[in-house]
Amino acid sequence: MTTAILALQGAFIEHATMLNNLDEQTFEIRQKKDLLRSFDRLILPGGESSVQRKLLHDLGLYNEIRAAIQAGLPTMGTCAGLILLAEFEPTTDPTYPGFATLPVVVERNAYGRQLGSFVAQAAFTPPVDSHNQTNSMDHTQKIPMRFIRAPRITHITNDEVVVLARYQDTSTAVLYHKQIGIAFHPELDSDTTIHKYFLSL
């Protein structure tokens, strides 16, 4: 199986390294011709969401990637990637919209300057049976959550969204069909729980 990683800006190399260590093939999407390659999953990495949105449109990548996500391509967005997937983010420039495929509302840089970057731990609790696939993961396991000027999920707008992790009563990782939106950076720690789960979708 092969995962494509959007590599316009941000922490794409770290995702590739983690997936390669899990024996998953990867390649980078940098220009439109890269979309001609065959791939089974997509990662939208952390970074600067406004820069990524503009480049997606300027390079002609936006429409094709959005259509693939809407068609059910397993997709994981971390930090800025979550903002790209989110249905609404109030500061988004309407000239360069995000994908708006994940029914959540997010707030950028929501944890404040003092907590701009920090690490927490919390349980990762995927559904036992997601899309008719048996999940044998340890539901009591705690994972590291590395927040770097992270967005906050402020509202969930569809009952089909499943919360996978929380921090202080706020959802930090969610699942909607085959989209995973994560406020933190799982690729910056050695724990592979989330990436293994993503590969199971």
Mark whether 131 is an active-site residue. Answer: no
3-state secondary structure of 186: helix
Domain ranges in the chain?
Answer: 2-200
Give the total residue count for the chain: 201
Q: What is the pLDDT along the chain (201 residues), one digit of tens a residue?
A: 999 999 999 889 999 999 999 999 999 999 999 999 999 999 999 999 999 999 999 999 999 999 999 999 999 999 999 999 999 988 888 899 999 999 999 998 877 655 568 899 999 999 876 444 445 555 567 999 999 889 999 999 999 999 999 998 899 999 999 999 999 999 999 999 999 999 999
Do 179 and 77 touch, CB atoms closer than 8 A? yes
Which among 14, 24, 87, 187 is annotated as catalytic?
Answer: 187
Which among 15, 177, 185, 195 is annotated as catalytic?
Answer: 185
Which among 79, 87, 89, 177 is annotated as catalytic?
Answer: 79
Nearest alpha carbon to residue 86 among 19, 150, 18, 15:
150
Structure tokens at 56: 């997606």
Mark whether 15 is an active-site residue. Answer: no
The CATH code belonging to domain 2-200 is 3.40.50.880
